[in-house]
Amino acid sequence: MEEMQRYGDLLDLQDVDLDIDRLLHTRSSLPALDQYRTAHDASVKAGNEHEELDQEFKLASRDLDKAEGELEILEEKLGREEQRLFAGGMSARETENMRNEVTSLRSQQSEMEDRVLGLIDARENLEERLETSRVKLAELKAIESALEAQVGAEWKKIDAELARREGSKAEIIRLIPPDLLATYDRLRNSKEGVAIGRLIDGVCGGCHLALSAAEQLEVAADDPPLCLHCRRILVL
């Protein structure tokens, strides 16, 4: 009777362990978890792209500020040179040199203005792309956060159930002899979680193979009784 009881406790333990296995599998394979991982990856990628665009925008802004500064200096110099030219009082040769200098400065001014306009266009384009990227990143972050909250809520329920199962397991383990428990744990690790099964109508509940009457007698002589086919513990 005592032997039947300990194997009954072992069957109860396996039921609890299988429940724990199922809960852990459910926990790690939630559809929302895959969706969260996808959303997280997309969010990280969008964040990196946004950072790259932000760096480009900052660089373009620095280039524009520098070009505008150089243009301002050039315009000031051109203004001074034109003022000297129009003021007169110079020799013909000096006047000709000054006229050439003014012409050169005007040419440089025109080139610099074209460059500044190009930099303004480039920065405005980057600014538009940056804003689009910012909106996209915010949307992805919102999706990621919503999925994270969903996963967290589902995990909370599963973890509460796991805690109850673990509590039941601890109570059952106290009833099982250590040597039998060690055999059970070893078999569970090597038999895909199923270490023990009932013998019903001569069929092993673990591997579902039949044992002859002689084989059943042979199994019954062992302690613990093990199926001759799969070597799982058999409850006769």
What integer is the mean pLDDT of 88-95?
Answer: 82
Amino acid at the residue 170? A
Averaged over 38-64, what is the pLDDT?
97
Give every CB contact of residue 184 below 8 A, 6+ residues apart in sequence.
10, 13, 14, 176, 195, 196, 233
In the chain, where are the structural domains located? 28-163
| Residue 236 confidence (pLDDT) | 83
pLDDT at 17: 97
Which amino acid appears at position 134 of this protein? R
Please state, for a pLDDT cut of 90, what percent of the chain lies above it. 83
Average pLDDT, the chain: 93
Over residues 111-136, the mean pLDDT reads 96
Q: What is the pLDDT of residue 117?
A: 96
- In terms of pLDDT, which residue wins out, 83 or 59? 59
Asked if residue 176 lies in contact with residue 6, where contact means CB atoms within 8 angstroms, the answer is yes
| 98, pLDDT greater than 90 | no
Percent of the residues in the chain that have a pLDDT greater than 70, as a whole number? 98
Domain 28-163 has CATH 1.10.287.1700: yes
Closest Cα to residue 197, out of 47, 8, 30?
8
Residues 64 and 116: beta-carbon distance below 8 Å: yes
Instruction: Mark residue 88 as left, alpha or beta (left: phi above 0; alpha: psi -120 to 50; beta: remaining).
Output: left
Confidence of residue 217 (pLDDT cuts 50, 70, 90): very high
The answer on pLDDT for 49 being more than 90 is yes
Mean pLDDT of 109-131: 96
Question: For 88-94, what is the mean pLDDT?
Answer: 82
CA dist list (Å): 73 to 8, 32, 105, 171: 94, 60, 11, 86
168-213 pLDDT, tens digit per residue, is 999 999 999 999 999 999 999 999 999 999 999 999 999 999 999 9
Separation between Cα atoms, residue 35 and residue 27, nearest integer Å: 14
Is the bond preceding residue 178 a cis peptide, omega within 30 degrees?
Answer: no
For residue 108, give every residue at least 6 positions away whose Cβ sits within 8 Å of its Cβ, in sequence order, or none: 74
Predicted confidence at residue 231, as pLDDT, reads 94
DSSP, res 233 = E
Q: So what's the pLDDT on residue 94? A: 84
pLDDT for 145-173, tens place per residue?
999 999 999 999 999 999 999 999 999 99
pTM, two decimal places? 0.73
Supply the pLDDT for residue 4: 64
**pLDDT for res 39:** 97
Banded pLDDT at 2 (limits 50, 70, 90): low
The Cα 180–Cα 222 span in angstroms is 13
